[in-house]
A and B are shown apart, each in its own frame.
Chain A
């Protein structure tokens, strides 16, 4: 055989693709290491190698604490996921680099028990050590995400200077620009990209002239600026002050519509608070039975870490038994916990059927808490020993011919009360059997009633709320519900039986699994179980959280929400939430023309909240009005919203749709890739912020963040890091917006203070926290030095009053303010109690209409199979014969939005899988490791199969957070530099690419909940084929 030349050898070997291992995506050159054991250097320590020195040492015998003089330990807040745990961040004083992260022992989300707030910082170290085993008792750690996310501080793909696109939008070509140029261009506009004139923010801000004089309800032209933000991580109020209260646009949203809005809306209906959207969590320490639906404690949900600890303790040392209803077996289930944990596999999107079956069984078998439900008002309830009450006994008008159909019968309609603000509801007194004003009742009222009441001399059909719920539950038999959710009747009955055997110590909760097209009713039904057992405000029952000390409020030191020239925004949001379609000009015009006003061009959501999922579709469709500029901050809907990328990528790249897109983001993600300008931002422990846990805690908690390390971003001319705050302040000042500049923040005496720097805002928020109720003590010099607050001492003194700064330092040194845990309970009741009644029937829901078909919504929980906005059933359009699987995105224990691209997680868990049941895999002829294509009606993705028994048959499970095409997975050009794509960052499968649109709507759309619009990322019809 002829020998090949060396060159030929290389050519032949390389040509044989089946022999090469460096694929096309391989990024190439690696670096040599000239230091370390591999270059024959010995490690510093034979046991610990080159690991960082400990931050302190504690003498085991004496308890003496010896801090490491080369480090400081900052108590602050993790932003690695939405839980926002307290963490302590160890920093090397010499390099200013973060060495490690662990839990803040003062913080309720990180330690249980958490340390008394007065504990001096130095003393707190003792509680983390082996001294008297206190380190075990007060163990405070960060989770896997929390440990990994610090890598993002030093991410090579981080944006450090303002960028302006130089190619077509979305082409990945950028030019670094100065901060001054950035601010000037976005404010003044002009021919910014050589593509014609673009209005700047100054031209857009017109708070008087209507967008459309023929449709004045849409509001002024200022609404053509849309601000899309992320979750409430502690900085959001300043962004809201800028865009809503100063700029005057009504279009500001957080991320909820793409996160857990269905769950939140279900709770809002139950708790009757459509403004704050509160939600409940179990009092884990004392709960005996927990039913979690579409979420799994310690695997998903919030607060993630604390819940994990509570569940572990509850099932081992306490009396907790829990059942997870989910299409996929989660890490919550533990064989070690024996019968204490169970998994009930359910068909995706049908949890509502299971719960409605439970409700039916509970009501028909008298297993509800009649004592609780029959209390007609708060006073009577308290007297009867109930810390909460409900509207179960309130009468609802059910005569469909009346204009007040669906409303509660008012006392004034029967002559029992005055019309107006003192009007009452009506109940039937149990003793007399007569209708009375609910507020005048002195004892329990009738729970089930269906009859008539005479109004204006005419009989009108009425029913109690509980009667309506029972009738709704009885619309289907247990067998029908069972068939829908594919859970046996016997399982449903035993679940309902077990749930109601624990009195008030049984709790039902739900979360992201309800993000499907009928998630609102699923959630409302699931959380209704809590009302049926009457567990609200009880030890072992449910809590709406312990609240916070005053922060962004008219606080004891500063009024953070009032300023001269503050705008009250008007009009309709681009998401069409919070405004009934029936009040629009579009509706009225159709009516006047004799047309059927339904359907609207796109759905309207009268009682929804923070509907991010409709912001980009609405803006790109120009409905209900055209949008001129979008500011994105701390959010990535093109990746995070199921179905959006494929539906909107072309429109996002078209400057005619939205002429100006500004993204404030530390990275170039899938959404900021379409920006015209990228503004760098601070990350994690570089940031300021004041926030708190969502729920799952019983005492007052404020989590406070401060810049524990110096950010590497470029500086403004004023010397501030370029970040969200400094950018918005500079824009506001250039535009002369109210609420910014030298005289912006009033103190308690009415004196005005400046808002020129980020700390002007954040330190004054912290001052409110420090002085609310009983002011906190002054921080000692030792506290300030050990925690690194020293590095901002001069800022504290410059911004705050002499009597304030040490108290604020006290709060910062501890990473927040935390009420004593002993204040959790008052006997068998919780100390911090939710005050409004639980809504068995919600009038606001029951009187609203679906804008796509004119049908009324049901005011109680109901079973609703998957459907489009116009209520056409999904199965009718996408028949199961063609789409035999339902895809669900599963929650990752390690990956969350801020985490992708961290080397630690890339090693531990580099990619996800397409999870299939063993029987399905066999039918498809695939095994673990095979490559498959998953196709939905909208798109296809590829992935590697993992065959498991822990998934329901007919379900495809894909862990969310992988398969990125931004954040370093795609090449970008910054000036003359190329940021090469990292194949590792794009590894795995992105479940959201499979999300589908809504064919019952016009223009760009994604499938959403038909009542509140939350994005449907679950129960997506798909098919699977082997590649």
Chain B
């Protein structure tokens, strides 16, 4: 049960990571429409469901343009650099970037290996929101499959600390900015999802992770 819940959140984090790392396609937009009620329910916000349900009303080419304007083209007037350091330290490659990079290296996470849209190929700045969300997803996935108690505890420590020290410090305000700068329901939904994913996860999961750890500890004794 716990593994299933971990796996579910791992997929949710991956899905949100994909919203930032992959250009929208007809398939992804329609799938999100299909998943709209579940995402809204998981993130405890019906507006998400409503906005995602409207996503298909806008041409994918327009969504793609918005994706570029929001996250890739600095001169668009609506550009929001999707990098943590840009929002927390007003620069690229700030201290948080190096800290995140060190953690990726230490844990064996390779953002370069992710399946992203070609426009992100060669971008190696580690604190891209998509990379951070994928990292969180990867940690949760590993946690769901962990069998060894000490490894599980280490993973719990790592994911908790990582989310607390990085995403919790900037995902919510970043999501708000996305909501403000977006013109389509789809990207307003993306912004809203981003504001919700960390606080809801922490609320729902802080306790669960403790349970996981305790449960495993009791099993091992």
Main DSSP-derived SS at the A contact region? loop
Do the beta carbons of B151 and A32 come within 8 Å of each other? yes
Give the contacts of B140-157 with A (CB-CB under 8 A). Answer: 141-143, 145-146, 150-157
Once the chains are docked, how many angstroms separate the CA of A36 from the CA of B107?
11
Cβ distance B123 to chain A, nearest Cβ, rounded Å: 9
Q: Does A930 contact B (CB under 8 A)?
A: yes
* Contact segment of B15-23, B80-88, B173-181, B200-208: B15-23
Do the beta carbons of A34 and B153 come within 8 Å of each other? yes
Once the chains are docked, how many angstroms separate the CA of A17 from the CA of B151?
30
Give the contacts of A885-926 with B (CB-CB under 8 A). Answer: 903, 906-908, 910-911, 913
Once the chains are docked, how many angstroms separate the CA of A473 from the CA of B114?
55
**Given known contacts A21-B14, A987-B113, A39 and B101 CB-to-CB distance under 8 angstroms:** no
In the complex, the chain A residue whose C-beta lies closest to that of B126 is A907
Do the beta carbons of B114 and A10 come within 8 Å of each other? no
Once the chains are docked, how many angstroms separate the CA of A38 from the CA of B163?
10
Q: Does B55 contact A (CB under 8 A)?
A: no
Taking CB atoms, residues of chain B closer than 8 Å to A214 are: none
A29 contacts which of B119, B120, B145, B161 (Cβ < 8 Å)? B145
B11 contacts which of A3, A9, A18, A27 (Cβ < 8 Å)? A9
Give the contacts of A22-54 with B (CB-CB under 8 A). Answer: 22-23, 25-34, 36-40
Once the chains are docked, how many angstroms separate the CA of A18 from the CA of B137?
16
Interface size for A (C-beta < 8 A) is 50
Residue-by-residue, is A80-122 near B (CB-CB < 8 Å gives 1, otherwise 0)?
0000000000000000000000000000000000000000000
Do the beta carbons of A22 and B14 come within 8 Å of each other? yes
Taking CB atoms, residues of chain B closer than 8 Å to A983 are: 110, 113
**Given known contacts A6-B8, A10-B8, A38-B165, A31 and B107 CB-to-CB distance under 8 angstroms:** yes
Residue-by-residue, is A143-183 near B (CB-CB < 8 Å gives 1, otherwise 0)?
00000000000000000000000000000000000000000
Do the beta carbons of A34 and B150 come within 8 Å of each other? yes
In the complex, the chain A residue whose C-beta lies closest to that of B23 is A18
Q: Does B76 contact A (CB under 8 A)?
A: no
Taking CB atoms, residues of chain A closer than 8 Å to B27 are: 16-18
A3 contacts which of B41, B106, B165 (Cβ < 8 Å)? B41
Do the beta carbons of B114 and A26 come within 8 Å of each other? yes
Taking CB atoms, residues of chain A closer than 8 Å to B214 are: none
Do the beta carbons of A32 and B8 come within 8 Å of each other? no
Taking CB atoms, residues of chain A closer than 8 Å to B165 are: 38
Cβ distance B207 to chain A, nearest Cβ, rounded Å: 18
Do the beta carbons of B103 and A33 come within 8 Å of each other? yes
Residue-by-residue, is A657-670 near B (CB-CB < 8 Å gives 1, otherwise 0)?
00000000000000
In the complex, the chain B residue whose C-beta lies closest to that of A25 is B113
Do the beta carbons of B151 and A31 come within 8 Å of each other? yes
Q: Does B93 contact A (CB under 8 A)?
A: no
Q: Does A136 contact B (CB under 8 A)?
A: no
Cβ distance B162 to chain A, nearest Cβ, rounded Å: 6
A1 contacts which of B5, B36, B107, B162 (Cβ < 8 Å)? B36
Taking CB atoms, residues of chain B closer than 8 Å to A908 are: 124
Taking CB atoms, residues of chain A closer than 8 Å to B158 are: 32-34, 38-39
Report, as a range, how many residues of chain B touch the other chain: 35 or more
Cβ distance A38 to chain B, nearest Cβ, rounded Å: 5
Once the chains are docked, how many angstroms separate the CA of A911 from the CA of B110?
13
Q: Does A19 contact B (CB under 8 A)?
A: yes
Interchain Cβ contacts within 8 Å, total number = 172
In the complex, the chain A residue whose C-beta lies closest to that of B103 is A38
**Given known contacts A30-B107, A984-B113, A39 and B157 CB-to-CB distance under 8 angstroms:** yes
Once the chains are docked, how many angstroms separate the CA of A16 from the CA of B11?
12
Once the chains are docked, how many angstroms separate the CA of A2 from the CA of B33?
12
Do the beta carbons of A36 and B113 come within 8 Å of each other? no
Q: Does B189 contact A (CB under 8 A)?
A: no
Q: Does A20 contact B (CB under 8 A)?
A: yes
Do the beta carbons of A12 and B115 come within 8 Å of each other? no
Cβ distance B129 to chain A, nearest Cβ, rounded Å: 12
Do the beta carbons of A911 and B161 come within 8 Å of each other? no
B121 contacts which of A13, A14, A22, A929 (Cβ < 8 Å)? A929
Do the beta carbons of A12 and B35 come within 8 Å of each other? yes
Do the beta carbons of B108 and A30 come within 8 Å of each other? yes
Residue-by-residue, is A910-949 near B (CB-CB < 8 Å gives 1, otherwise 0)?
1101000000000000000111000000000000101000
Taking CB atoms, residues of chain A closer than 8 Å to B112 are: 906-907, 910-911, 984, 987
Cβ distance A148 to chain B, nearest Cβ, rounded Å: 13
Do the beta carbons of A38 and B157 come within 8 Å of each other? yes
In the complex, the chain A residue whose C-beta lies closest to that of B133 is A21
Once the chains are docked, how many angstroms separate the CA of A31 from the CA of B145?
11
Do the beta carbons of A31 and B113 come within 8 Å of each other? no
Do the beta carbons of A907 and B124 come within 8 Å of each other? yes
Q: Which A residues form the contact surface with B (CB < 8 A)?
A: 1-4, 6-7, 9-10, 12-23, 25-34, 36-40, 903, 906-908, 910-911, 913, 929-931, 944, 946, 983-984, 987
Known pairs A2-B37, A19-B15, A40-B157; list 5 more (Cβ under 8 Å): A18-B28, A21-B115, A21-B116, A930-B118, A984-B113
